[in-house]
Amino acid sequence: MAKPLFVINGPNLNLLGTREPEIYGHTTLADIEIQSRSCAVALGIALEFRQSNHEGQLVDWVQEARLSASALILNAGAYTHTSVALHDALKALQLPAIEVHITNPYRREPFRHTSYVSPVVTGVICGIGAQGYTLAIQALVTLIKAP
């Protein structure tokens, strides 16, 4: 069986649907997981969907992905803008990876304009809501199935 695609979500994403719905909308992380799994099944790939508020746990999962995943989607939340540790773990990943954000960080506060994740991933999808996850899955499946 092929290795699953890892979807890793960072701090406060467990509060989607209730936290600042005027910014993030009413879609919950559980809704995103259902949509992501449906997309993955349609494309014939297994999915490992996770969330943690703890930076070290996220780093551990990125490191685990090196051997256990076919590709990675990461919404690092606020750690996007602060975590050198995630940057270093991603740099060592050696797998296709996409950074996803529900909002467009470049239309928000200036401190959100810097990403420690972007320089070490394959691509970035931001600003189109929860749909970004399914687009990332589609893109990664295309990349990992390419000759």
Predicted local confidence at residue 147, as pLDDT = 72
5-145 maps to which CATH number?
Answer: 3.40.50.9100
For residue 127, pLDDT beyond 70: yes
Mean pLDDT of 136-141: 98
Catalytic residue among 87, 101, 116, 133: 101
| Residue 17, phi then psi, degrees to nearest 5 | 100, -30
Catalytic residue among 24, 79, 116, 133: 24
The model's pLDDT over 67-118, given as tens digits with 9 standing for 90+, comes to 999 999 999 999 999 999 999 999 999 999 999 999 888 777 787 788 999 9
Q: Which two tokens stand for residue 85?
A: 């540790």
For residue 1, pLDDT beyond 70: no
* pTM (2 d.p.): 0.93
113 catalytic residue (yes or no): no
> Sheet of 71-75: strands edge to edge?
47-51, 5-9, 71-75, 97-101, 123-126
87 catalytic residue (yes or no): no
> Which residues are CB-neighbours of 60 under 8 A, at least 6 positions away?
none
The model's pLDDT over 15-65, given as tens digits with 9 standing for 90+, comes to 988 987 777 878 999 999 999 999 999 999 999 999 999 999 999 999 999
Predicted local confidence at residue 20, as pLDDT = 77
**Identity of the amino acid at 41:** V
Measured CA to CA, the distance from residue 141 to residue 75 in angstroms comes to 18
Predicted local confidence at residue 25, as pLDDT = 78
